[in-house]
Amino acid sequence: MRLDAGRTHVAIPGPSVVPDRVLAAMHRAMPDIYGGELVGIHESVFARLPAIARTAGRPFVAIANGHGGWEMALTNTLSRGDKVLVLESGQFATLWGEAARFDGIEVEFLPARSERYAVDPESVEAHLRADDTRSIRAVLMAHVDTATSVRNDVAAIRAVLNRCDHPALLMVDCIASLGCDRYEMDTWGVDVTIAASQKGLMVPPGLAFVWAGDRAWSAHQQADLRTAYWDWTARASDGPMYLAYNGTPPVSHLFGLDEALTMIDDEGLEHVWARHAALADAVRVAVDAWSAPDGLELNIIDPSARSNAVTTIRSGSIDVERLRSTCATAAGLTLGVGLGPLAGSGFRFGHMGHVNAPMIMGMIGTTEAALHALGAPLGGSGAAAAAASLGRSMSV
Ligand SMILES: *Cc1c(COP(=O)(O)O)cnc(C)c1O
């Protein structure tokens, strides 16, 4: 029978749940864009963005999705025919590399061992050492890949670049991880960071964020892929506030982002990361408890390479489309589809941004109920394991 009347939960890894406070902040009449309150909101947002990426670099905000952020990063730093090295670890770095190729960049792909592993720093090192002419201009990677739920070790890749004394820029896609998994742009030596509004930042889709460090800003001076709309120089020029957006500002999104940044500041970024870790731990112990031969299993093998924003589960013999549709129609819970190599053989829990213990328990408990409804092989109760894990977190 259907038990879905009531508040439903879309637990996909982006767009994530938008807090009522953010929705309410966006529900406003259009303001004057040439003066007044919006100017202060714009300034306050730009002043707070560097801290979210832990950088002293310049933030840029575009009316775009994450793909637009990729394009802004590439076109502002590179020239036609430049070579980049893409560190594949699932789906998203690969798509970014394909966009780079379309834009006229020469692209080398370095695959991970499989969709169950993080980028291997040793193979990156071997690849960079072989580049004796230093023709690779940038290394592109995803911090967290949202298809596999792997979290890559960004600092380890910077260490490899340093050991090889290689001048390539390090560009990191943090679209899934920003505001969820610890990310330290400057300490880790990242030159360009990319994010989007609709995941850990808790705002509807529509804003892309790019942070540029000093080395990226220098590369920008020579880049010949620059285009009028994305251009950092135009967006950084002195003058009225709308120049930063190359046109009309995304006013409703700015109202929402201002509120979301206030929520993050009030909680404290360190605590935001710790909350995501505690909630993700509960999800992971639940999946481990469910695990059974031919049943469910965490996709990422190395526990230290699992993201706190999203968890990808391999579904074994379980009919994943029936599991997802049972959750959705019978219970009002929407789970993320498997992507890439896990299309049809896996699913994903999003736990990014505006999530708390009851949302996690609801998601895990409801999934467990659907697994019972399907007669799926179950090693034990994931809900009990998740509750025990959350209890440990709540007691400290
Ligand atoms: C969601 C996501 C993207 C794509 O973002 P869009 O806003 O859909 O363009 C890219 N990379 C990662 C890691 C993501 O999670």
Which pLDDT belongs to residue 372? Answer: 98
Closest CA to 295 of 389, 375, 387: 375
Q: From the CB of 175, is ligand 1 less than 6 Å away?
A: yes
The pLDDT score that the predictor gives to residue 68 is 98
Q: Is the CB of 139 under 6 A from ligand 1?
A: no
Q: Are 130 and 284 in contact (CB under 8 A)?
A: no
What is the per-residue pLDDT for 2? Answer: 97
Q: Encode pLDDT of 305-357 as tens digits.
A: 999 999 999 999 999 999 999 999 999 999 999 999 999 999 999 999 999 99
Residue type, 283: V
Nearest to 87 by CA among 116, 54, 55, 113: 113
Nearest to 336 by CA among 148, 172, 64, 90: 148
Please give the biggest Cα pair distance in the chain: 66
Question: DSSP state, 268?
Answer: -
pTM of the model: 0.98
For residue 154, give both structure tokens: 């960004």
Q: Give the start-end residues of each E strand in 124-206.
A: 136-142, 144-145, 150-151, 169-173, 192-196
pLDDT in tens, 217-232: 999 999 999 999 999 9
Alpha carbon of 311 to those of 21, 124, 144, 230, 275: distances in Å?
A: 26, 25, 11, 33, 15
Where in the chain does DSSP place strands (E)? 9-11, 58-63, 83-87, 106-110, 136-142, 144-145, 150-151, 169-173, 192-196, 207-212, 297-298, 310-314, 333-337, 346-350
pLDDT digits (tens, 9 = 90+) for 156-208: 999 999 999 999 999 999 999 999 999 999 999 999 999 999 999 999 999 99
User: Which of 389, 352, 76, 106 is CA-nearest to residue 224?
Assistant: 76
Q: Cα–Cα distance between 54 and 374 in angstroms, integer?
A: 45
Q: Which residue's C-alpha comes closest to atom 8 of ligand 1?
A: 66
pLDDT reported for residue 127:
97
Q: Are strands 83-87 and 106-110 parallel, antiparallel or unpaired?
A: parallel
Ligand 1 probe mutation, 92, 144, 308, most atoms within 8 A of CB: 92
DSSP 340: G
- Percent pLDDT > 90 in the chain is 99
Calculate how far, in angstroms, residue 270's C-alpha sits from the geometric centre of ligand 1: 23
Task: Determine the atom of ligand 1 nearest the C-alpha atom of 65.
Answer: 7
Q: Which residues contact 146 (CB under 8 A, 6 or more apart)?
A: 13, 14, 90, 91, 92, 175, 176, 309, 310, 339, 348
Two structure tokens written together for 35: 């003066």
Q: Say yes or no: CB of residue 67 within 6 Å of ligand 1.
A: yes
